[in-house]
Structure 1
Amino acid sequence: MTDARLRHGRTSLAISFFVQGVVFALLVTRIPAVQDRYGISDGLLPAFLAAVPILAGIGSIGTERLVKRVRPGPVLRWAQPVVCLALLAVGVGDGLGQVAVALAVFGLAVGALDASMNMLGVSLQRAYGRSIMLGFHAAYSLGGIMGASLAWAGAHWGLSLIVLYGPLMAVLAPAALAASRWYADQREPRSQVAAGSPPTPGLRFLLPLCLVMAFVYIGDSTVANWSAKYLQDVLGSSEQLSTLPYNVYMATTLLGRAVGDLGVRRFGPVGVVRTGAVIAAGGFGVVVLAPGAWVGIAGFTVLGLGLCVIVPQTFAAAGRHGFERFGPEGSDAAVARLNIFNYVGFLVGSPLVGALGAAWSLRGAMLVPLLLVLVTVPYARAFDPAPRPIPCRHERPRTTDVGRGSNGL
């Protein structure tokens, strides 16, 4: 690929990450409004919420199979508008059946979107020969902050879901579709690949990375779902102040990812992941020991700086190891399978902390994500980009040096 095509591909993919951050935040931050619009009971709401990540996992598995026939770019090109339209459908329906279908479509499409989006990111990082994955996830975090801010404005001004979602989707869906024409990856057309498709990877070499992904998302979902309640019920903050931890967590996540690629190029992925895990565990430790609200907020702030670097590097490591063993198809399959554990962590984290908080105490329950994040420290060895023989002759040898300070493009 030419330098210009790589730059265009990088920019267009960053737009895709940004749009997805906006869309996902617009859904999860307006769940109470969705519940009120459709009269979803408190008992039924968890089933609706759990169905989305479960179906997303199915969508990710389906994407692994689909990209054996087509490139990830076309999958992402059409999955993203479907996600946008599904969110719009959530805002315009008037019955439980309609919102159930809309959320089901959203879940399946978002699984395909997350998987193909990260496949393209890993492929572009290989082409650049240096770490750029954190930059894509920084775009996602920026989109999440913008989406949450727009959702707050909609709630503040009493806007209906359709009034909030309609104009935004009318802008975001065409923008993502227009940007998709510049998606780029390194895979040659199937007709040019040597006969006999390489086998897709087994789960064994991915297992440490899958555990890391699940553990990190348990920590992330803990912040998203329990930080406000923890500050208010345990640390005695006001209701207004209790909204601050997640906001500062998102801000430090954006900050850490914006500069994280520089850290990977300088210190390598193993050092960055290990340091991030220790910082995140320290943040949880501050939260657990906090005597008051402001110390708790400081803990969540530190936590964002630590957790934010791990997920992008986990995708990068899975794609790199899959590629080293099986070529581009192995990289795509590894990313798709790893992506499932994003949803596993999301499903497990909030109920686990909630159950322990009810049975014991919410302060004590915060020890669980702390310990799980610490467990990732010895698994940092799985992020080592040790060079291996490259099985696909059309790939450039320098791409195995990703994360070791290669100058790249």
Structure 2
Amino acid sequence: MDPAAAPTPAQTTKYRQPDDRLRHGRAALAVSFFTQGALFALLVTRIPAIQDRYGISDGLLPVFLAAVPILAGGGSIATEQIVKRVRPSVVLRWVQPVVAVVLLLLGAGDQLWVAAVTLALFGVCVGGLDASMNMLGVSLQHTYRRSIMLGFHASYSLGGIVGASLAWSGAHWHVSLVALYGPAVAVLIPLTLVASRWYADQEQPAVETADEGGRQTVVMRMLMPLCLVMAFAYIGDSTVSNWSAKYLQDTLHSSEQLSTVPYAVYMVTTLIGRSVGDFGVRRYGAAPVVRLGTVVAMAGFAVVAAAPGAWVGMLGFTLLGLGLCVIVPQTFAAAGRMFPGDSDAAIARLNIFNYVGFLVGSPLVGALGDVWSYRGAMLVPMLLVGATLLYARSFEAGPAGYGVGHERQRTVDVG
């Protein structure tokens, strides 16, 4: 190869060198993702204890649980409007402590109306929290001009592992909900408030397709492929979180203790995949990484469905963690890239389909398992996640990308 034709460092590394403000903003946002992962895990892993504390019947419990993602979708829609007037960092700074306080109130109450009100508030606030966090993440990635979104979601996974571990300890030692949530909230609220001092907002870039107010119009027809990918990914994720233990115990005949392992393995492999995923996106581009993740996730579901025993089933859930983990962060990034003039609105709308997938996934697998078989039911989320391959072009960086052979200068690229 002619040395003169070789790319120079400037040609292959055209991302912005971060200053202290950006580095601090990135670290502060990682703290927020970590906190959200911990708080959410502290809630969902203690649902049985919450049900017992409030005397919620088995028939009423699904109504309570379904209300949370529905209201979270409403919170995400509201955030789209709010950030037209205030910065996403302002929303995130104040809504995250509210989520923590609401969780503590849920653990302290003992009347059914308290559970209804606190879970409703939790849902609305989580919608705003998820939307504003990812708005800031995409904004920072735009400024860095290289992939960093997977790192933020890795922090979320780490927080989920910590929260689930605390919840397990609380259940093991028969710690009350308020005694479990109180110290966690006492640590996490000051942590996030201090970190929020360094959140870094960015102005939206000007684009030719902007309206008279300077904002780009978000066209849902263009965004819909990414919305479907988001919903499919969360159908896959909710299948693991809600059915892995039951599947291992009832279908693969594992012990009760072993049945708790697959979700823990899934969370750990999700953390590992997201921790290294940004390097893959920088080197090869987002679309190839998403395609690979989709194929690995499909293989995971296939292994789970065909597993002759518990240990092979756990191998399948391991593959699922490694595959699914890259899809959601890159979907947010792709939405920001698709509508660089109003990425906040695109992310708020896309975030709704996070909750759509969560709502659909668990009942879908449960219904199919009851009328057909749980092995066969695992093939349905496999096919839905596999549909991501049909929409993989939505993740293409166009004339820009990340990594050697992919990075080219483009002022509005955020993904």
Q: TM-score range by the shorter chain?
A: over 0.9
Match of 2:296 in 1: 279
Mapped pair 1:234 → 2:251? yes
For 1:102 and 1:6, locate their aligned partners in 2 and report how far apart those are by CA, in whole Å.
35
- Alpha-carbon distance between aligned partners in 2 of 1:32 and 1:242, rounded to the nearest angstrom: 17
Identity %: 72
CA contact 2:135–2:343 (8 Å) conserved in 1: yes
Q: Which residue of 1 aligns with 2:228?
A: 211
Counterpart-to-counterpart distance in 1, 2:140 and 2:75: 23
Trace 1:104-115 onto structure 2 (pairs within 5 A).
Answer: 104-115=120-131
1:350 to 355, 362, 376: 362
User: Conserved in 2, the CA contact under 8 Å of 1:119 and 1:331?
Assistant: yes
Q: Provide the residue aligned with 1:130 in structure 2.
A: 146
**In the superposition, relative to structure 1, how do residues 303 and 194 fare at CA in structure 2: closer, same or farther (>3 Å)?**
closer
- The aligned residue for residue 391 of structure 1 is none
Alignment of 1:6-405 (within 5 A): 6-187=22-203, 196-323=213-340, 327=341, 330-387=342-399, 398-400=410-412
Kindly provide the amino acid, as one letter, of the partner of residue 394 in structure 2: A
With 376-385 and 107-116 compared, the bigger mean Cα shift is at 376-385
Unaligned segments of structure 2, at least 5 residues: 1-15, 401-407
Q: Say whether the 8 Å CA contact 2:35–2:192 is kept in structure 1.
A: yes
Query: Judging changes above 3 Å, is the alpha-carbon distance between structure 1 residues 244 and 331 closer, same or farther for their aligned structure 2 residues?
Result: same
Query: In the TM superposition, what is the alpha-carbon distance from 1:82 to its structure 2 partner?
Result: 0.6
Cα drift, residue 94 of structure 1: 1.6
- Rounded Cα–Cα distance in structure 2 between residues aligned with 1:399 and 1:152: 47
Is the 8 Å Cα contact of residues 132 and 261 (structure 1) preserved in structure 2?
yes
Kindly indicate whether the alpha-carbon contact (under 8 Å) linking 1:134 and 1:313 is maintained by their aligned counterparts in 2. yes
Question: 1:373: Cα distance to partner?
Answer: 1.2
Structure 2 CA distance for aligned equivalents of residues 272 and 37 of structure 1? 44
5+ residue gaps in structure 1? Answer: 389-395, 404-409
Give, in angstroms, the shift of residue 223 of structure 1.
Answer: 0.2
**8 A contact 1:287–1:300 mirrored in 2:** yes
* Secondary structure in 2 matching 1:145: helix
- Tell me, yes or no, if the aligned pair for 1:124 and 1:186 is still in contact at 8 Å: yes
> 2:269 and 2:215 mapped to 1: Cα distance?
41
SS at structure 1 position matched to 2:339: helix
Structure 1 residue identity aligned to 2:90: P
Alpha-carbon distance in 2 for matches of 1:260, 1:401: 19
CA distance in 2, matches of 1:402, 1:45: 40
Cα RMSD for the two superposed structures: 1.8
Amino acid at match of 2:201: D
Structure 1 stretches of at least 4 aligned residues deviating more than 4 Å after TM superposition: 399-403
> With structure 1 as the length reference, what TM-score do the two structures score?
0.92
> Following TM superposition, by how much is the alpha carbon of 1:400 offset from its aligned partner in structure 2, in angstroms?
4.4
> How far apart, CA to CA, are the structure 2 residues paired with 1:402 and 1:342?
20
Alpha carbons of 1:63 and 1:383: their partners in 2 closer, same or farther (altered >3 Å)?
same
Structure 1 contact 272–309 (Cα < 8 Å) conserved = yes
Contact persistence 1:128–1:399 (CA under 8 A): no
Write the letter of the residue equivalent to 2:365: V
Deviation at 1:397, TM superposition (A): 5.8
Structure 2: how far apart are the matches of 1:198 and 1:231? 50
Q: Which amino acid aligns with 2:163?
A: G
Matches of 1:188 and 1:381, distance apart in 2? 24
What is the TM-score normalised by the length of structure 2?
Answer: 0.91
Given that residues 287 and 395 in structure 2 are in contact (C-alpha distance below 8 angstroms), is that contact kept between their aligned partners in structure 1?
yes
- How big is the shift at 1:196? 2.4
Displacement of 1:174 after TM fit? Answer: 1.3
Residue type of the alignment partner of 2:389: V
Contact 2:139 2:414 in 1 (8 A): no
State the AA in 1 paired with 2:261: L
How many residue pairs align between the two structures? 389
The match for 2:3 is none
Measured in 2, the distance between the counterparts of 1:307 and 1:256 equals: 9
Is the 2:300–2:319 Cα contact (8 Å) retained in structure 1? yes
- Per the TM alignment, residue 23 of structure 1 is displaced from its structure 2 partner at its CA by 0.1
Pair 1:158–1:278, CA change in 2 (3 A): same
SS in 1 for 2:308: coil
Amino acid at match of 1:377: L
